[in-house]
Chain A
Amino acid sequence: MKRRYRRHFDDYAIGENEKLYSDMAARGWLLEKRGSYFSRFRRGEPADMRYRIEVSAPRFLEETDLPEEQVAVYEDCGWEYVTSRGMIHVFASPAGSDAPEFYADPAQQAATLRVLRRGYIWAWVPVTLMLLFNFFMAAAMSGGTGKLLSRWGAECRLGWVAATALFLFVGALVAWAFYLFVHAAWRMGRLYRRMKKGVPLDHSPRGRMIPHRVVSGVLLGFVAVFGLLTLWQWVSRDTRDLPETADGPYVLLSDLGIEGERSALFYDDRTSRVTLERSLLATHYDVFECVDQGTDGEGEAWMYQDVYRLSPRVDRAVFVRSLMEDATFARGPENFREVTVAGLEGSWISGDLECIAVKGDLAAYVTVLGSGRETEETLLAALRALAECWAQEGGEVR
């Protein structure tokens, strides 16, 4: 049997849904089942049908089904039960039949919408409570709301640069969901108030909610575009073994005078590698190197580097501040000290473990770890090596 699916209107649009089903029946597509987002129709003879929606009002934790007696009364009156989804129950009757409307008094029908309306009005509560709970848990663990907010701010700014498309995707998704929620709550409230005042439900509204569909469609379009872009960027990121000589604006441990065999990280077998990923605002080299310094008891040394080639649209001062805010050990700009290194436009050091460098469109956050290597001298060597490397790389000076 031939079947067709159509996106139906959300539950609050009672008249619009009724009209959709009647219009489909007139074209020979008879409603078979209403799903969450789509309704299924089967091929039949074109028929002039009236469709009516009854909304059930279940109490807390109660089934959303209509009581059987209620369906029986409706069927007695000439309404054929068709399908249900959640609180929405659809009945049909041939257009010329003498099956009476469910309610002669709109105010009485409005009363049946109370539970549906409550659902729309309170829909934001669970999500908000969950977010608040997470927020306060995180604030308690990170030493205060102010600290947490500045750290999140920094993470967001870094994320915006390093994963711009993902940020736009999430932003569009949130905007879309928020718009749908606000629009639905507003429409539901308006319908309820009107009916309570005695305005009958329009079973065949002329408007097809075009403005709403355009706004929703545009937002959904953004979601799709940025989603695909994110996916493409994620797929095209390139991770490979770290070459013996640097092939990008990053340095190797040997440039710092730390020689040894390449080895694996002792706790998770991670080996030296470089990941190259591109966002709309930056090219990001994520470099990890690990060497065994040999048998003279010095053990392993590791270096982590995040090197960014930034688009001119990125504010470098803000970006550097965010790197400091997000630094693993320093955890804030107050723990960084500015140093002068020839060939760099800005360089900072924190606690013998981390340093930050900028020049032109390049910025780097570097951590060096290893026995006997956690010294300011090592960090200065790293900064000097970066300065030399970037001089050859030709960082564009702005």
Chain B
Amino acid sequence: MAEQQPMTEAAYYILLSLLHPGHGYGMMQRIRELSGGRLVMGPGTLYGVLSRMSREGLIVLTGEADRRKTYAITDRGREALRREYDRLRHMVEDGKIMEEAET
């Protein structure tokens, strides 16, 4: 199954947070920190995206302790994240003409 492109904001941040393997709650906290408190993700959203991405092979289950599952990003996930990052960066660069127009 091909990953979604462009990626949803939630998927993008979850992949970012999984550059270091982590479990549900940890991910949510890291995402909040990463986004400077802008993105507060609920566990329902988190679980929905995690199960979809693990079906798509973007992330993988690496361990389980106390029902607490640890996920990590896969190579495919890394590629997808990289592509999305490049896409977003291009978009931001392209958007710079707006600043030039304003000066």
Contact = CB atoms under 8 A, between A and B. Distances in A.
A314 B50 CA distance: 69
Most-contacted residue by chain B among A54, A100, A104, A112 (CB, 10 A): A100
B43 A104 contact: no
Contacts of B23: 76
The A contact surface, by secondary structure, is helix
Nearest to B61: A69
B41 to A, nearest CB: 7
Interface in B60-103: 67-69
Given A100-B43, A108-B45, A76 B51 contact: no
B52 to A, nearest CB: 11
Contacts of B47: 67, 69-70, 73-74
Given A77-B25, A108-B48, A72 B42 contact: no
A72 B69 contact: yes
Nearest to B26: A76
Contacts of B28: 77, 100
Contacts of B48: 108, 111-112
Contact of B45 (A71, A72, A103): A103
A77 B51 CA distance: 17
B46 interface: yes
Contact of A105 (B24, B45, B50, B67): B45
A214 B4 CA distance: 49
Given A72-B68, A76-B68, A104-B41, 12 more contacts: A69-B67, A69-B69, A70-B47, A70-B51, A73-B46, A77-B25, A100-B28, A100-B41, A100-B42, A102-B43, A105-B45, A108-B48
Interface of B: 23-25, 28, 40-48, 50-51, 67-69
In the A-B complex, the 10 residue pairs with the smallest Cβ-Cβ separation, listed nearest first, are A102-B44, A76-B25, A73-B24, A72-B67, A77-B43, A103-B44, A76-B24, A70-B47, A102-B42, A103-B42
